[in-house]
Structure 1
Amino acid sequence: MDTLGVVELSSIAAGAELADGMVKVADVELVRAATLCSGRFIIYVAGDREAVETSVNFARAGQKRLTGSFVISHVSPLLTAALKKSEPALRGEALGVVESRFVSIGINAADIAVKKSEVRLLKFVAGQGITGKSFFVLGGDVAAVREAVEAASESLGDKLVEAVVIPNPAEAMARALTGGVR
């Protein structure tokens, strides 16, 4: 997957209809089309850049329920892996937690973070059970995690809820955030 398109809507019904149109208008893979808390809907499409841009531009054209959309080229493999499954933290590594008001912009911020610094993207949580917000957890040495968290925070602007760096997390806390420690 070279390019990822992310579209977020404030309506489940409009999202279902839009996802159908997005895959019909361009040769893209529908990676995810799902409900989020607070009655929102998220759509991920993947493929080559031109096809993904066509699909996302279709979504942007006249869709009143759109709350966010992004096209991420040369998407980091760390991001695509984290969207599928969490990674355990390593003993002694610093953790960064970045929380966003929306899923779509949170995905973009996570991609920016892992491209900015030598960190691992351990977990990405998209909307369900957290009132439609998103958060992600980064791991690495303290300086790298700080740099990545700062880059993500800057990209989020007023959509940032909170961002923290935990330099030496307790093992129980690392396990709680990422699902494991190794």
Structure 2
Amino acid sequence: MTDVLQAPTVIVLAAGRGERFARSGGGTHKLDALLAGVPVLEHVLRSVAASGLACHVVRPANGTDGMGDSIARGVAATTDAAGWLILPGDLPLVDARSLLRVAEGLASQPVVVPFWNARQGHPVGFGRECRAALMALGGDAGAAAVVRAQRQAGRVLDMELDDEGIVLDIDTPDDLARAEALLETRGAA
């Protein structure tokens, strides 16, 4: 189990505009859409709370933040963290155990990339040595360049997880319906 004093902080990205969800017929912002009667973002925050890891939520600052801007702001607000797990706020079914596994992986490599059924998911974990690179991010690109640079240096741990929630993001009302069905299946199991 990760020592909470040495654990990374989960940066929950909640600053996006959710335009794909609105364009595809969503009647509200995707993070406010209800999944089993609870807003999508609240599901994410409950998983983070259940993990016991520290959390920082990045909300809209000026309406023009891209993913890279949001990551940089989140890291800048938590510079004393032992590392960071970057978690988009639209992954309502991510399991707290997945967060802890990625956090634990940071003990062996400065970047941890989770996968489910060969699909890359979130959260992606970054150790303190990635701080400057994360704070230099901007625009919509996210942290892919940081992962790529660390991968070229042989400093990435690819981690297969048994958690479909790490890849099931909510971008359309159909995604929300799939999440609802998976949640019902989990409840029946």
Class of the TM-score when normalised by the shorter of the 2 chains: under 0.3
Higher RCO (CA < 8 A, seq sep 6+): 2
**Larger strand fraction of residues:** 1
| TM-score, normalised with respect to structure 2 | 0.27
| TM-score, normalised with respect to structure 1 | 0.28
